Amino acid sequence: MPIRVLLVDDSAIAMAVLKRILSSSPEIEVVGMAQTGREALALIPSCSPQVICTDLHMPQMDGLEFISEVMATYPRPILVISTSVQEEDRQNVFRLLEAGAVDIFPKPRGGAGSDYELVKQELIGKIKILAGVSVFTQYRKKPVLDFKFSTINSQAKIPHQKSKIVVVGASTGGPQALYNILIHLPANFPLPVICIQHISEGFLQGMVDWLGLECRLPVKIARAGEIPKAGTIYFPPERLHLELDTQGRFCHSAAPPVGGHRPSVTVTFKSVASFYGQGAVGILLTGMGRDGAEGMEAIARAGGVTIAQDEKSCVVFGMPKEAIALGAAQYVLPVTEIAPMLLAKIRGGD
C-alpha cells in the first residue's frame, strides 16, 4: 500500500510542484490537497493521511494553529515545507516543531536538472521516513527540574567534576529532543555543549535563534579558532564538519561527508573523544541511520560518559539503536530523563 499524503499550501503552484514530485514515486499517493488549515482539518477524517505536509503561512488558519489542532485531534507525522529565506520566519518555522511537527524541508521549486532531481529524492526519502515514525503529542515547555544545582547563583563556585564537555548528536526529531534537553540547563551550567543536528540547508540559523530564545544559555554557530566556552551551546556551520585541533580550538572541515552527512556526528564525537578523553559526555538522540554510533563508541573507549535516547521516546530509533548495538551506550534513557542525568552526574563530580 502506498503512503497516503495530505498537502496543505495556499499556493496552487507550490502544491502542484509537490504533487508532481511525490506522485513520481509509486510508494506515495497524494490523497488530498488543501489551501487552508481549516480545509485540511476537514479532509483528514476522510483522507486518513499517514503524513501531512504543510506550509507556515496560510489564510484563515496558519501553520502553527493548524499543527496544534492536528496534534490535539488527529495526531500524525507532519512535515513542514517552507522557504527559509525570510529572516522573520526562521524562528517561526521551529515553533511548528515545538507544536508537534516532526521535520522541516525547504520548499522545492519547479523545473528540471540535477538540483531538482536531488530535491525530489530527498523529499520522497523524508516522506518514507516520516510514514513510520512515532508521534508525540506533548512536550514539556518549561524547565521543571528541582535540582539544587539548577537554582544556585550563577556566580557561585561549581564543584569539581570529571566531565569537561558535552557533545550531542541528532537527526530526524532532533530539534524537539534538543529543545527538551537544553531548556533544562541552568544559566550557570559549567560545561560547553556542542550539538550536531542534521538539518536541511537554510534552516540552521533559524534553529540557533529559536533555541537561543528558549534556553538560558547562549546558542551560537562555532567559529574556527574559538575555544569552547563553559555555559555556551555550539552548532557547526552548514555543510562543514566540526572538529577540535590539538589546542582544543574549533576547526571546520570540508572533507567528504561521512555516512552521507556533513556535518557528521561521528566526526565531532571522535574529535572530542580524542582531545577530552574521559572528560567527554556524549549524547546520541533520535535519528535515522547510524551517524554518531562509532563516535559514541570512541567516547566510551576514551572513558567518557555516553547516553543514548531510548526507543520509546525516539521519533526514529536509528542512531541510538546502532550505538547500543555496539555496546557504546552506558545509559539508555527517555529524552525527558537525559537532562536530569546530565545535571546529576556533573553535580556529583562523576
| Active site members | 171, 198, 291
- Low-confidence winner among 6-20, 23-37, 134-148 (lowest mean pLDDT): 134-148
Q: Please name every residue paired with 307 in a beta bridge, in sequence order, or none if there are none.
A: 283, 331
Domains of the chain in start order, with CATH, are 3-130 (3.40.50.2300), 148-347 (3.40.50.180)
User: Which CA distances in Å does 235 have to 74, 131, 331?
Assistant: 34, 28, 24
In the predicted model, what is the mean pLDDT of residues 224-252? 99
Pick the closest to residue 130 from 98, 103, 169 (CA basis): 103
Give the helix/strand (H/E) hosting 242: strand 241-244
pLDDT of residue 195: 99
Q: Are the CB atoms for 174 and 141 separated by under 8 Å?
A: no
- Low-confidence winner among 153-157, 265-269, 287-291, 302-306 (lowest mean pLDDT): 153-157
Pick the closest to residue 295 from 315, 313, 309, 280 (CA basis): 280
Q: Residue 148 phi/psi, 5° resolution?
A: -60, -35
pLDDT digits (tens, 9 = 90+) for 125-162: 999 999 998 776 554 444 444 344 333 333 333 344 58
What's the CA gap between 340 and 185, in Å, rounded? 9
What's the CA gap between 84 and 31, in Å, rounded? 27
In the predicted model, what is the mean pLDDT of residues 268-289? 98
pLDDT of residue 91: 76
Q: Are the CB atoms for 7 and 15 separated by under 8 Å?
A: yes
What's the CA gap between 119 and 234, in Å, rounded? 28
Q: Are the CB atoms for 127 and 21 separated by under 8 Å?
A: no
In the predicted model, what is the mean pLDDT of residues 318-343? 97
pLDDT digits (tens, 9 = 90+) for 163-206: 999 999 999 999 999 999 999 999 999 999 999 999 998 899 99
CA dihedral over 332, 316, 166, 206, signed as positive or negative = negative
Mean pLDDT in the chain? 91
pLDDT of residue 44: 98
Q: Are the CB atoms for 181 and 339 separated by under 8 Å?
A: yes
In the predicted model, what is the mean pLDDT of residues 260-287? 98
Q: Are the CB atoms for 313 and 328 separated by under 8 Å?
A: no
pLDDT of residue 232: 99
What's the CA gap between 184 and 189, in Å, rounded? 10
- In this prediction, residue 43 has a pLDDT band, given cuts at 50, 70 and 90, of very high
pLDDT at 9 over 50: yes
Amino acid identity for residue 290 in this structure: R
- In this prediction, residue 253 has a pLDDT band, given cuts at 50, 70 and 90, of very high
Angle at Cα 325 formed by Cα 320 and Cα 330, nearest 5°? 70
What is the pTM for the complete model shown?
Answer: 0.90
pLDDT at 114 over 80: no
Q: Are the CB atoms for 324 and 332 separated by under 8 Å?
A: yes
Q: What percent of the chain has pLDDT over 90?
A: 81
User: Which CA distances in Å does 329 have to 92, 118, 164, 238, 296?
Assistant: 34, 34, 18, 28, 7
What's the CA gap between 41 and 51, in Å, rounded? 13
How long, in residues, is the chain? 350
The DSSP bridge pattern shows strands 280-284 and 165-170 to be parallel
Distance of CA 265 to the CA centre of its chain: 12
Q: Are the CB atoms for 53 and 82 separated by under 8 Å?
A: no
What's the CA gap between 329 and 322, in Å, rounded? 10
Residue 146, all three cell numbers: 528541582
What's the CA gap between 26 and 101, in Å, rounded? 25
pLDDT of residue 92: 84
Give the helix/strand (H/E) hosting 273: helix 265-276
What's the CA gap between 166 and 296, in Å, rounded? 12
Report helix angle 335-347 to 174-182, nearest 10.
Answer: 40
Q: Residue 143 phi/psi, 5° resolution?
A: -60, 135
